[in-house]
Amino acid sequence: MSDEQGKRGGDERGALVAEYVLGLLGPREHARVEAMIAADPALKAEHDFWSARFAALDSEFGEVDAPAHVLGRVEARLFGAAPKTSIWNSLALWRGLTAGALAVAVAAIGFNLMQPTPSVTSLTTQLVAALEAEGSDVRFLALYDGAGAVRLTALSGDVPSDRDLELWAIQGEQAPISMGVIPVNQRSVVELSEEVQAGWGEGSVLAITLEPKGGAPEGRATGPVVALGEVHQI
Amino acid sequence: MPAQSGPAEISELIARCSLRDRQAFRMLYQRTSAKLFGVVLRILKNRAEAEEAIQEVYIKIWQRADRYQAGQSSPISWLVAIARNHALDMVRARRPAGDELDEAMQIADAGPDPERLAQASQEGERIETCLATLEPEKAEAVRGAYLEGYSYDELAQRYSVPLNTMRTWLRRSLIKLRECLTA
């Protein structure tokens, strides 16, 4: 292919992706180009290029107050009609924690108990959480030892070498509290800070996010959630 | 809309939404809903449809919050893209099927240079400068497509030219625009 032909091909592909980003294509062609972009990293780059460039026009969209009832309807649809009950109970997410995950949890606890675990005093005081998320193969089991520490067992999942996993505690409506970076593919013990300990108990949520090496800057999660689970008493 | 929120704050609210923080979601809604309602209303040009759209948009935002990558794009652009694309999907769905152009463009297999594109993306707001190099009515057509969601058919009617002429016209303009943006 000559340079001239190559340039023309590139121009046409570029223009087609621009048409896609602008929303000019009909439904059939729009779907076709969408599939092409998904399959071709060069077209994806072209898509990101046009999206970023046209986004400079976003400031021309004026602000118009949305009708007052919209927020309530959105919250009702997302969180259920009675948000005053437990915040976490109605989340579809938790329904996704299947009996299978709990079976894994129980089996893993059995395994844990076979190890020498001097700090575990009584099963009745224990809290456990199975951490996982749709679309992620990172899975952890968290077991609270009843004495101020969470023992983590990695069940599966790999992390890019330039990233770290960070553990978070979410309690009630507070912002997530970092519990620090955790090692991948091995067991670890995380001591609960006073701040976490203060709200700790059944219904607390543990989440794991993918963060830059060394953990989230400024102690605020930036990466995607790769696993999470609610703490239950067993 | 309360006092202007900085991108860093919006970015943090999106990250907290990905951790299922409902209070953060409410704050994000309060900070950004006027902007996003402005987007869907401008494209849909119908208040009832825009009201339906804005609900779906915030449901998508909650569901997709974990896909937002801080630093990759501005958080407002990310939110506007969700709103704009949702409104455009609604517009596309209600357009008559006959609106589709007949001949699918044949695309030669020669890719753009991703490295150069990535570099160009970081440069900022060259779009205005480059739009100004096009003939005024062609620049207006590009803006109309982005900001008003006009289809080729609507643009052809507005500028009183046949549909295929409109497409040839605009494709040439987009190629020119790309040359300017990557220069």
| A170 touching chain B per CB within 8 A | yes
Q: Which of A117-121, A181-185, B153-157 has the highest mean pLDDT?
A: B153-157
For A210, the enclosing helix (H) or strand (E) is strand A205-212
Alpha helices (H) along A96-161: 99-114
**Tell me, what's the pLDDT at A118?**
46
List the domains of chain B with CATH numbers: 7-94 (1.10.1740.10), 112-182 (1.10.10.10)
Residues of chain A contacting B147 with CB distance shorter than 8 Å:
57, 60-61
Question: A57, exposed or middle or buried, with CB in 10 Å at 0-12, 13-18, 19+?
Answer: middle
Residues in chain B: 183
Nearest CA in chain B to A41: B114
**Tell me, what's the pLDDT at A4?**
57
**Tell me, what's the pLDDT at A19?**
96
Interchain proximity A16–B21, CB inside 8 Å: no
CA distance B82 to A115: 50
| B159 touching chain A per CB within 8 A | no
| B26 touching chain A per CB within 8 A | yes
Cβ atoms of B53 and B87 closer than 8 Å: yes
**Tell me, what's the pLDDT at B118?**
52
Which structure tokens are listed for B112? Answer: 């753009």
Q: Closest partner residue to B110 among A6, A25, A49, by Cβ?
A: A6
The better pLDDT of the pair A86, B30 is held by B30
Phi-psi region of A148 (alpha: psi -120 to 50; beta: other; left: phi over 0): left
Q: Which residue has the tokens 């790769």?
A: A226
Which 44-63 residues of chain B touch chain A by CB within 8 A?
51, 54-55, 58-59, 62
Nearest CA in chain A to B112: A10
CA distance A50 to A72: 35
Structural domain spans, chain A: 3-60, 96-233
Which 107-146 residues of chain A touch chain B by CB within 8 A?
133
Q: A172: Cβ–Cβ under 8 A, 6 or more apart, which residues?
A: A87, A199
* Mean pLDDT, rounded, for A52-76: 93
Residues of chain B contacting A225 with CB distance shorter than 8 Å:
18-19, 66
User: H/E/C letters for each residue in chain B?
Assistant: CCCCCCHHHHHHHHHHHHCCCHHHHHHHHHHHHHHHHHHHHHHHCCHHHHHHHHHHHHHHHHHHHHHCCECCECHHHHHHHHHHHHHHHHHHHHCCHHHCCCCCCCCCCCCCCHHHHHHHHCCCCCHHHHHCCCCHHHHHHHHHHHHHCCCHHHHHHHCCCCHHHHHHHHHHHHHHHHHHHHC
Interchain proximity A65–B92, CB inside 8 Å: no
Residue pLDDT, tens place only, B127-140? 889 999 999 999 99
Residues of chain B contacting A14 with CB distance shorter than 8 Å:
112, 174-175, 178
Q: Nearest Cα to A31, choosing from B173, B63, B88?
A: B88
How confident is residue A154, by pLDDT bands cut at 50, 70 and 90? confident
CA distance B88 to B81: 10
Q: Is the pLDDT of residue A99 over 80?
A: no
ipTM: 0.85
Q: Is the pLDDT of residue B73 over 50?
A: yes
Interchain proximity A63–B21, CB inside 8 Å: no
Number of neighbours of residue A175 by Cβ within 10 angstroms = 18
